Amino acid sequence: MKWLEQQGMITITATRGNNGYTLISLLNWEVYQSKNDQGNNEHPLEKQSTDINKNDKNEKNDEKKKDNRRKYDDDSPYIKMTRYLLEQIRAWKPDFAFRGSEQTWADDFRKLHEIDNRSKEQIKAVIDYATTNDFWQANILSAKKLREKFDTLEGQMRRGNRHGEQNAGRRNVHGRDQKAHPIDPPGSTGPFAGLVKTPV
C-alpha cells in the first residue's frame, strides 16, 4: 500500500478514535480503464443495479429448481422401494450409514420405473439379487447405482438362474468348474500349483 501511495496511484486517509477508519482513494482512475470498458462507465450505477438484479434472478431460479423437485409421501411406491433397498442393504451390513436422501433415492426409483420402463417386480427381483450376491452387494449401495447397473445386474441374475447359483459359486473367471476339472489337480507341479485351491 505504501508503494502505491509513493507512486501517486492512491491516497490513504486515516481517522482516529473509537470509530476510526481508513479511506483509500484511487487516483487517475480513468487511466487504468480500457477503452472496451468505457461503454459501461457511462452509467455505472445502472450497470451495478442490473448485475445485482441478475444475481437475484439466479438465486430465485435456484430456489425454484429446489422447490420443483418431486416430493414423495410415505405411502409412495418409490419411498417403499427406497426403504426396501435400505432394509436389504442393512440385512448384510447392519452398520450401513445412509448419507443420502430418501427423496433422492425415491426419484431414482421413479426414473427406473417410469423412464426405463422396469416393472416393480423386476426392480424387487434385482434388489434381492444385488443385495445377496457376494460381488454386487458391496457395489450397489444406492438407488442411483442400482439404476446405473440395472441391465448388468438383471443379465447376471438371469444367467445365474439358468446355470444354477450353486455352479456359479465354484467356477473360476474362465468358467471352469473347479470340482469337475481343476486347473491343477492336487499334488501336481504345474504352473498354477498352489495358486488355486481346489474346492472341497
pLDDT tens, position by position, 121-151 = 999 999 999 999 999 999 999 999 999 999 9
**What was the pLDDT predicted at 169?**
47
**What was the pLDDT predicted at 168?**
46
**What was the pLDDT predicted at 127?**
95
Report how far residue 135's alpha carbon sits from residue 37's, in angstroms, rounded to the nearest whole number.
61
Cell of 3: 508503494
> Residue 16: pLDDT band by 50, 70, 90 thresholds?
confident
Top pLDDT among 181 and 2 is at 2
Report how far residue 183's alpha carbon sits from residue 197's, in angstroms, rounded to the nearest whole number.
9
Identify the DSSP state of 177.
B
Run of H or E including 197: none
**What was the pLDDT predicted at 45?**
58
> Residue 50: pLDDT band by 50, 70, 90 thresholds?
low
- Those residues whose C-beta lies under 8 Å from the C-beta of residue 82, and which sit 6 or more positions away, are 102, 105, 106, 109, 143
- Those residues whose C-beta lies under 8 Å from the C-beta of residue 170, and which sit 6 or more positions away, are 177, 178, 179, 199
Summarised one tens digit per residue, pLDDT across range 165-194 is: 544 444 444 444 545 544 444 555 544 444
User: Within the chain, what is the greatest distance between any pair of CA atoms?
Assistant: 94
Residue 115 has pLDDT above 60, yes or no: yes
**What was the pLDDT predicted at 27?**
82
How many Å is the Cα radius of gyration of the chain? 33
Smallest Cα–Cα separation from 23: which of 8, 9, 11?
Answer: 11
Identify the DSSP state of 25.
E
- Those residues whose C-beta lies under 8 Å from the C-beta of residue 54, and which sit 6 or more positions away, are none
Report how far residue 153's alpha carbon sits from residue 146's, in angstroms, rounded to the nearest whole number.
8
Report how far residue 178's alpha carbon sits from residue 170's, in angstroms, rounded to the nearest whole number.
6
> Residue 49: pLDDT band by 50, 70, 90 thresholds?
low
**What was the pLDDT predicted at 164?**
60
**What was the pLDDT predicted at 161?**
75
pTM of the model: 0.51
Report how far residue 182's alpha carbon sits from residue 184's, in angstroms, rounded to the nearest whole number.
5
Summarised one tens digit per residue, pLDDT across range 56-95 is: 677 766 666 655 778 999 999 999 999 999 999 999 999 9
Residue 102 has pLDDT above 70, yes or no: yes
Report how far residue 151's alpha carbon sits from residue 46's, in angstroms, rounded to the nearest whole number.
56
Summarised one tens digit per residue, pLDDT across range 28-41 is: 777 767 666 555 55
Residue 113 has pLDDT above 90, yes or no: yes
**What was the pLDDT predicted at 133?**
93
Smallest Cα–Cα separation from 145: which of 100, 185, 184, 114?
Answer: 100
